[in-house]
Every structure is written in structure tokens, then in C-alpha cells.
Amino acid sequence: MNIPVAPARGQTGLRAVVILTLLLLVVLAFVPDEANPNPAVTALLLGLAALLGAVFWLAPRRLSYMLTEDALLVGKLTGPVRLPYTCLSARRASRGLGLKMGGTGLPGYYSGNYVYNADGLNNVLAAASNTDGGVLVTSVGRTFFLTPSDPDAFLRELAARGVEASA
């Protein structure tokens, strides 16, 4: 069963910065430098812009949550994480993500280690589309911050599969 990921919200400024940065890379690639012409620099800048554009486009689309017969699968850009129901607990997050300690913070895609400092935790592993409105899922000492579109329905579905889940 696929669980819809919450749509990204409140990130129009960050999206604008990303688009402007990519456009700047493309424009700079075509600025002529008669004193020192180097086609390798043009190719490098265009390649970097294409790579960054692909990552910004692909990463949010790879974020997914799927409930299988025996585990929760969290899909990320780097591949899925399998969390078996037998050692899983879930609850609503009391606050949003803090500072990023390592990982990715793109518009609509937050993945990696983030400061949390609430609910008895110092940090969480994010696999989220937003920095707030999440669900904390704990498995074998690791706590994940997920953002399903309907957190209460997600928790009910986990509880129906035998997971200790609370709102």
C-alpha cells in the first residue's frame, strides 16, 4: 500500500533561488572570454547545471512510503530503507526538524541527519517533504522523521499492522 507524501509547502523563495542559480550557471557558461577561451569550462558549467537540475527534479520524486506485508519501505534518492513492523513504533512529532547535520535539504526533499531536541531525542533521520507536520518512526534505535499527507491515517494503518502507534 502506497502512502502519499505530503506536498511541499512554503518553499517558493527557496525554489526561486534554485532556479536562478541554475540559470546563472547556464548564462555564465556562454559569457565570452576572448583573453582565455576554454571550451572545457563551458562544458563543465553546462554539465554542472544539468546535474544539479536533475538532482533537484529527481530527488523529491523518489521520496515515498510503502507499507508491505512485513515492513515499512521508505524510498529515498539513494535507495529504499526497510523498517520491519516487528521492532517499529510510531507517533506524531511534537515539533519540526532543526538544523541539518548532514544530508540533503532541497525544496520538497529533506533527507539525512537533523537536530530534533524534543520527544526525548537529540536528532532524527529525515526522509520528508517538509520540515514540520511529521511522524516519528523508531526502529532498532534509529528514529525517522516522515511526512505522510495524512499522518493520522498513516498511524492508524501502522497500528492495524501491529505497530505500536500513538497520535
pLDDT digits (tens, 9 = 90+) for 14-57: 677 777 887 887 887 777 777 777 778 778 878 888 887 777 77
Share of the chain above pLDDT 90, in %: 43
Computed from CA positions of residues 131, 137, 138, 139, in that sequence, does the dihedral angle turn out positive or negative?
Answer: negative
pTM of the model: 0.78
CB 140 within 8 Å of CB 154: no
Residue 11: its pLDDT value, please? 65
Number of Cβ within 10 Å of residue 144's Cβ equals 22
DSSP secondary structure string, 26-53?
Answer: HHHHTS--TTS--HHHHHHHHHHHHHHH
Give the Cα separation of 7 and 68 in Å (integer): 22
Rg (CA), the chain: 19
CB 36 within 8 Å of CB 43: no
Least confident of 9-13, 125-129, 151-155: 9-13
Give the Cα separation of 141 and 139 in Å (integer): 6
Tell me: the pLDDT tens digits for 52-97? 777 777 666 778 999 999 999 998 888 899 999 998 999 999 999 9
Contacts of 89 (CB under 8 A, 6+ apart): 137, 138, 139, 163, 164, 165
